Structure 1
C-alpha cells in the first residue's frame, strides 16, 4: 500500500515594495545639469521679476547637508520680487536631533522671533527642508499663508532616495522609518501647499514628491530640473514667485 506524503502549503512570499530610487545615471549627471541650470539663471538675472511680494515674509529651509547659501539665488529672487525673504537661521541642515516633535517645537520657537513682527508668513523648503516647512505649517496653520516644497520626498522613505548615506554621515544613525511617522509626513498641512517635483531628479524619487491622494489644498507641479539645481533653476524660481504672488493677490 502506497502512502502519499502530506501536501505542505508554504505561505506566499511578501511582495516587496517597488524600488523608486532614481537611476544612478541621473545621480551621476546631477552636477553637470545643475551647472547648466546655474548658467541659465545667470542669463536671466538681468530680467527683474514682477513685483508681486508686497512685503510678505517668506522663510526658506535648506536641504540636507546644505545651508542658506545654497538657497541664496532663490532668496534673492524673492527679494527682487518684493518679498521679505529670510533664511531659516540655523546654519547647516544636518537633520532633526533626538525626538522629532521636540526638535520641531524648538525650531518653531526660534522662528517665532526671527519672523517678527510679521503676523503672516509663507514657508519654502528644499528637499529635507520641505519636511520642516510642512510640519511647522501644521503647528502654525493660523499664521502660515502658503507652503511650497521643492524636491521633497514626503510620500516615501529612505529607499526612495540616493542620500541615505549622507544622513548617516551627519547624524551617525539611520533616518527615521517608522510607519506612523511616514504616514504623518505624507499628510499635507491644512494650508495651501504646493509640491514642485522633477522626473529628472537624480537624488530623490519624483513619485515620492507627489501626493498619493487628493487633498483640498494640496497640488503637485512638475518642473524640469536637477535636484541640486532646484534652488536656482529659472523654472523653479518663476514657479515659486508665481505661486506665492497669486496667493497674495487672492488674499488682497
Structure 2
C-alpha cells in the first residue's frame, strides 16, 4: 500500500472527467432503489459523483443521511438496516447496496439482516475479507473514534467467518489502493460472486470511470439472471487481470 493515495485520487478525478462521455454508453437502470454508503471519515458528499451518475442512468439513488462515517456507532448499526427496510417498503422493490470501504462492511451487515429485501451488494475497496489490522491504513482513525462505537459484542461478525451472501455480491478492488490491501477485498470464488480489478486509488474509487462502469453494469443485471462481468472492448485496458483472479478470467465481449 502506498501513502500517495490522495494524490492519485486527484489524477483519477481528471480521468473521470475525461471519461464521462464513455459512461453515456453505460447500461441504463430499471428504476430500482440503490443505497450508497460512504467510507470511514467520509459522508454523502464523498459519493456525489457516484450517486449522480447512477441517478442519470435511471436509478432511485439515496445517500445514507447519517453525516460523517465515524465507524460503527449506535446510529449506524441501527439505522442502516432500517434505511434498507424503509426503501424496500417505499418502492416495493428490493434494494441494491453500494458500499465504499467501511461502507461495504455496513452493506454486508444490512444484507444479512434483511436478505429478502436486498437485491445485490457491491463494494468498493472494502476489506470484507480482512484478517489483520495491518491490511488497512485506516485503523488509526477507526481507533481514534472507538469511544463512539457500540460495544464489540454488538458488532456484526467478521465476514471471514460467515457463509456467502444469498444475493449476488461484487467486490471492486484495486492493486493501486493505498489504504486497503486489495487481497483483503477479494471474495472467494463462487456462484453469484465476482471480483473486478480496476486501476484506481482508494480515494478515487467513487469517481473513476472504470468503477462507475462496473457499478452500472452490475446494477443493470436482471434481478433473477445475474451474470459474470465482461467489460466492453473500449474499456478493457481499465480492467487489469490479477494473478489471484486467474480463475475468474474476464473476457471481452
Query: Fold match, TM over 0.5?
Result: yes
Equivalent in the alignment of 2:110: 136
Match of 1:68 among 30, 35, 44: 44
Q: 1:105 to 1:177 in 2, by over 3 A?
A: closer
Q: Which residue of 2 aligns with 1:8?
A: none
- Taking structure 2 as the reference length, the TM-score comes to 0.78
- In the TM superposition, residue 192 of structure 1 has moved relative to its aligned partner by 0.3
Partner Cα separation in structure 1 for residue 54 and residue 113 of structure 2: 24
Higher CA-based Rg: 1
Does residue 219 (structure 1) correspond to residue 205 (structure 2)? The answer is no
Give the Å deviation of 1:107.
Answer: 2.8
Find the aligned partners of 1:53 and 1:249 in 2 and give their Cα distance.
15
Partner of 2:216: 241
1:166 and 2:141 are equivalent in the alignment: yes
**CA contact 2:73–2:148 (8 Å) conserved in 1:** no
RMSD of aligned Cα (Å)? 2.6
In the alignment, structure 1 segments of 5+ residues that lack a partner are 1-21
The correspondence for 1:113, drawn from 83, 86, 109, is 86
Q: Give aligned pairs, total.
A: 221
1:42: how far off? 1.4
Q: In structure 2, how many angstroms separate the alpha carbons of the residues matched to 1:175 and 1:96? A: 6
Q: Do the aligned residues in 1 keep the contact of 2:72 with 2:150 (CA within 8 Å)?
A: no
**What CA distance in whole angstroms lies between the structure 1 residues aligned with 2:26 and 2:118?**
23
- Partner Cα distance (2:78, 2:172) in 1: 26
Q: 1:39 to 1:183 in 2, by over 3 A?
A: closer
In 2: Cα distance, 1:130 partner to 1:46 partner: 28
1:210 corresponding residue in structure 2: 186
Equivalent position of 2:175 in the other structure:
199
Secondary structure, counterpart of 2:214 in structure 1: helix
Distance 2:49 2:159 in 1: 33
Q: Which runs of 4+ in 1 moved over 6 A?
A: 173-178
Q: Is the Cα contact below 8 Å between 1:38 and 1:233 reproduced in 2?
A: yes
CA–CA separation in structure 2 for the residues paired with 1:221 and 1:50 = 16
CA shift in 2, pair 1:170/1:137, >3 Å: same
